[in-house]
Chains A and B, each alone.
Chain A
Amino acid sequence: MTALIYPADAKVRLELTVNGERRVGEAEPRMLLVHFIREVLGLTGTHVGCDTSNCGACTVVLNGRAVKSCTVFAVQANGGSLLTVEGLARKGRLHPIQEGFWEKHGLQCGYCTPGMMMAAYDLLQKSPNPTEEEIRRGISGNLCRCTGYVKIVEAIEYAAQKLRSDPSWRSGGD
Chain B
Amino acid sequence: MDMSATSVVVGERRGVKPKPEKEGFVGKPLKRVEDLKLVRGLGGFIGDLKVEGMVYAAFVRSPHAHARIVGVDSSDVLRLDGVIGVLTAKDLGGVGNLPTVDEDAEKKPTPRRPLAVDVTRYVGEAVAVVLAKDRYTAEDAAELVRVDYEPLEAVVDVEEALKPGSPLVHDHLKSNVCYHSVNTVGDVEDAFAKADHVVSLRLVNQRLAPAPLETRGILASYDRGNGELKVWATTQDPHGLRDTLASILGLPQSGVRVIAPDMGGAFGSKISVYPEDVVVSYAAIRFNRPVKWVETRRENIVTTTHGRGQVQYVEAAVRADGRILGLRVKIISDSGAYNTPGALDNPTLTAQMFTGEYDIKAARVEVYSVLTNKVPQDAYRGAGRPEAAYLIERTMNVIARKLGMDPIDIRRINYIPREAFPYTTPGGLTYDLADYEANLERALEFSAYTRLRREQGEARRQGRLMGIGVATWTEICGFGPGLPQTAAVTVTPAGEVMVSIGGHPHGQGHHTPIAQIVADELGVDIGRVSVRHGDTALLPWSSLTAGSRSAALTGSAALLSARKIKRKMSLIASKLLDSDSSELVFSDGFVYSKSNPSRKVRFEEVADAAYKPWKLPEGLEPTLYEYTAYTPPDYVFPYGTHIAVVEVDRDTGEVEVLKYFAVDDIGRVINPMLVEGQVHGGIMQGAGQALIEEVAYDGGGQPLTQSFAEYLIPSTQTLPNIEWTRTETPTPRNPLGVKGVGEAGTIAATPTIVNAVEDALSEYNVVVDRMPLRADYILSLINNSGKRQN
* A residues adjacent to B (C-beta < 8 A): 28, 30-31, 38-39, 43-52, 54-55, 57, 84-86, 88-89, 94, 98, 101-103, 105, 107-114, 117, 132, 135-137, 139-140, 142-154
Q: How far is the CB of B218 from chain A (nearest CB, A)?
A: 16
Considering the complex of A and B, which 4 residue pairs feature the smallest CB-CB distances, nearest first?
A: A45-B41, A111-B264, A109-B507, A148-B680
* B residues adjacent to A (C-beta < 8 A): 13, 31-32, 34-36, 38-45, 47-48, 134, 136, 211-215, 262-265, 267, 294, 296-298, 506-509, 673-674, 676-685, 707-709, 713-717, 719, 721-722, 745
Residue of A nearest to B47 (CB): A48
Q: Are B719 and A148 in contact (CB under 8 A)?
A: yes
CA distance A148 to B679 in the complex (A): 8
Q: Are A107 and B136 in contact (CB under 8 A)?
A: no
Residue of B nearest to A97 (CB): B39
Q: Are A109 and B263 in contact (CB under 8 A)?
A: yes
Residue of A nearest to B39 (CB): A98
CA distance A167 to B211 in the complex (A): 40
Q: Are B298 and A51 in contact (CB under 8 A)?
A: yes
CA distance A48 to B555 in the complex (A): 33
Q: Which one of B677, B683, B685, B715 lies within 8 Å of A105 (CB-CB)?
A: B677
Q: Which one of A28, A39, A117, A145 lies within 8 Å of B39 (CB-CB)?
A: A117
Given contacts A140-B716, A145-B685, contact A28 B680 (CB under 8 A): no
Knowing that A44-B47, A101-B39, A105-B32 are A-B contacts, what are 6 other residue pairs whose CB atoms are under 8 Å apart, sorted by A's residue number? A45-B40, A98-B40, A105-B31, A108-B509, A109-B506, A149-B680
B213 contacts across to A, CB distance below 8 A:
47, 49, 55, 57, 109, 111-112, 143-146
Residue of A nearest to B671 (CB): A105
Q: How far is the CB of A63 from chain B (nearest CB, A)?
A: 20
Q: Are A146 and B39 in contact (CB under 8 A)?
A: no
B32 contacts across to A, CB distance below 8 A:
102, 105
Q: How far is the CB of B324 from chain A (nearest CB, A)?
A: 33
Interface of B is mostly: loop
Q: Are B716 and A153 in contact (CB under 8 A)?
A: yes
16 sample A-B contacts, Cβ–Cβ < 8 Å, listed by A number: A39-B134, A45-B43, A48-B47, A50-B708, A85-B41, A89-B40, A105-B677, A109-B264, A110-B34, A110-B43, A145-B213, A145-B267, A148-B681, A148-B684, A149-B716, A150-B13
Q: Are A84 and B708 in contact (CB under 8 A)?
A: no
CA distance A51 to B708 in the complex (A): 9
Q: How far is the CB of A93 from chain B (nearest CB, A)?
A: 11
Residue of A nearest to B682 (CB): A148
Q: How far is the CB of A156 from chain B (nearest CB, A)?
A: 10
A113 contacts across to B, CB distance below 8 A:
38-39
Given contacts A110-B38, A143-B213, contact A52 B709 (CB under 8 A): yes
CA distance A147 to B678 in the complex (A): 7
Q: Are A110 and B709 in contact (CB under 8 A)?
A: no
CA distance A111 to B212 in the complex (A): 9
A85 contacts across to B, CB distance below 8 A:
39-41
CA distance A149 to B646 in the complex (A): 19
Q: How far is the CB of A137 from chain B (nearest CB, A)?
A: 7
CA distance A71 to B442 in the complex (A): 49
B296 contacts across to A, CB distance below 8 A:
51
Q: Are A108 and B681 in contact (CB under 8 A)?
A: yes
A52 contacts across to B, CB distance below 8 A:
297, 707-709
Interface of A is mostly: loop
CA distance A149 to B38 in the complex (A): 17
Residue of B nearest to A118 (CB): B41
Q: Which one of B48, B267, B680, B715 lies within 8 Å of A143 (CB-CB)?
A: B715
Residue of A nearest to B267 (CB): A145
Q: Are B507 and A149 in contact (CB under 8 A)?
A: no
- Of A28, A105, A140, A151, the most chain B CB neighbours within 10 A belong to A105
CA distance A88 to B681 in the complex (A): 26
Q: Are A30 and B716 in contact (CB under 8 A)?
A: no
CA distance A51 to B213 in the complex (A): 11
Q: How far is the CB of B107 from chain A (nearest CB, A)?
A: 32
CA distance A89 to B39 in the complex (A): 10
A152 contacts across to B, CB distance below 8 A:
716
A49 contacts across to B, CB distance below 8 A:
213-215, 264, 297
CA distance A103 to B13 in the complex (A): 11
Q: Are B716 and A111 in contact (CB under 8 A)?
A: no
Residue of A nearest to B674 (CB): A105
Q: How far is the CB of B518 from chain A (nearest CB, A)?
A: 21
Residue of A nearest to B40 (CB): A89
Q: How far is the CB of B340 from chain A (nearest CB, A)?
A: 23
B678 contacts across to A, CB distance below 8 A:
108
Q: Are A47 and B721 in contact (CB under 8 A)?
A: no
Q: Are B45 and A146 in contact (CB under 8 A)?
A: no
CA distance A46 to B41 in the complex (A): 7
CA distance A86 to B717 in the complex (A): 28
Given contacts A44-B47, A84-B41, A85-B40, contact A55 B708 (CB under 8 A): yes
Q: Which one of A38, A144, A154 lies within 8 Å of B48 (CB-CB)?
A: A38
B685 contacts across to A, CB distance below 8 A:
145
CA distance A150 to B718 in the complex (A): 11
Given contacts A108-B677, A145-B211, A148-B719, contact A51 B707 (CB under 8 A): yes
Q: Which one of B134, B297, B676 lies within 8 Å of A50 (CB-CB)?
A: B297
B721 contacts across to A, CB distance below 8 A:
132, 150, 153
Residue of B nearest to A28 (CB): B136
Q: Are B267 and A140 in contact (CB under 8 A)?
A: no
CA distance A145 to B270 in the complex (A): 15
Given contacts A44-B47, A51-B297, A103-B31, contact A145 B42 (CB under 8 A): no
CA distance A102 to B34 in the complex (A): 9
B683 contacts across to A, CB distance below 8 A:
148
Residue of A nearest to B82 (CB): A9
Q: How far is the CB of A138 from chain B (nearest CB, A)?
A: 9
Q: How far is the CB of B84 from chain A (nearest CB, A)?
A: 18
A148 contacts across to B, CB distance below 8 A:
677, 679-684, 714, 719, 722, 745
CA distance A57 to B265 in the complex (A): 13
Q: Are A54 and B41 in contact (CB under 8 A)?
A: no
Q: Are B715 and A140 in contact (CB under 8 A)?
A: yes
B214 contacts across to A, CB distance below 8 A:
47, 49, 109, 111
CA distance A142 to B713 in the complex (A): 11
Q: How far is the CB of A146 from chain B (nearest CB, A)?
A: 5
CA distance A143 to B214 in the complex (A): 11
CA distance A128 to B600 in the complex (A): 54
A105 contacts across to B, CB distance below 8 A:
31-32, 673-674, 676-677
CA distance A38 to B45 in the complex (A): 12
Q: Which one of B262, B297, B674 lies within 8 Å of A110 (CB-CB)?
A: B262
